[in-house]
Amino acid sequence: MEPTLRLKCTLAYQGTDFAGWQYQPEGRGRSVQACLEEALARLAGRPVRAHGASRTDAGVHALHQVAHADVPAARAHLPWRRALNALLPRDMAVLAAEEVSREFHARYDATAKTYAYTFWLEQGFLLPQRRPFVWDAGSLDLDAMDEAAQAFVGSHDFAAFQNAGTPVADTVREVFSITRHPGPTPHEAVFRVRGGGFLKQMVRNIMGCLALAGQGKANAQTVRSLLETKDRTLAPATAPARGLCLEHMEFGGRGRKRRHQGPDGDPGEHLPDQERLGGL
């Protein structure tokens, strides 16, 4: 059997023209995973499977996605970062490529991740350069959004904030923090959500609820009530994908030791505590 080494790749991509991280059937759009695997295969001289830490949805961006792949040990001498970037499309890039232990697993060793969601706050005006990366939601009461955001922090059943499409064993997740930051222009506000794992489109659903709070149509009590109902049909609409970006992945090396096998759906279903790392 051919000796291999495990390669850890840190990726950034503009999600606008991708159908998400996960490989898609022919005709359903290109995926980040497929583009990475194609480049890896050309350099490895054989097919290569890439495993991502998070299955970002169509239109979602990333500044710090992580993936691992096993490549021939005989190709260890290759300048993998430079070689991959020469083959990848212009809307994605490898920030780092390094050999890691064979025990490392991008999905199961992840312990937390941080997503950032950017709101554009001025009605009737939007910089064209920022259009692919913001939700032009208009004027919002940011203090009211801050107050409502804190009701999401902690361990809760987030069934009311999970979109259909990926069955999971349970819907309890822990949000470590939600904080607001200035955006790159005076017209923007960025909300960063750090958690041990998320349900399908959970962060975008939280942002949809915060937008209502910013419009005076919801508050912290609304959030608590929705969490108690566990009913998705009662919760606000999902915020657009374009405002969301996977900013940071954290790895502690504990996840793989406690790995549970489950259906190949949400990349964390049937995994306890910090190992639940779903897509958004």
> Would you please indicate which residues are annotated as catalytic (active-site) residues?
57
SS (H, E, C) 95-141: EEEEEECCCCCCCCCEEEEEEEEEEECCCCCCCCCCHHHCEECCCCC
The identity of residue 98, as a single letter, is E
Helix, strand counts (H, E) of the chain: 5, 10
CA distance 10 to 64: 6
Closest alpha carbon to 280 in 200, 206, 210: 200
CA distance 194 to 242: 19
CA distance 30 to 175: 31
Provide the token pair at 237: 């609409």
Cβ 191 vs Cβ 121: under 8 Å: no
Strand partners, 255: none
- SS3 of residue 12 by DSSP: strand
- Helical spans, DSSP H, in 110-258: 142-149, 202-214, 220-229
Closest alpha carbon to 230 in 175, 156, 177, 165: 156
| Sole residue written with tokens 């996605």 | 65
* Residue 115 marked in a binding site: yes
Specify binding-site residues: 115
Specify binding-site residues for substrate: 115
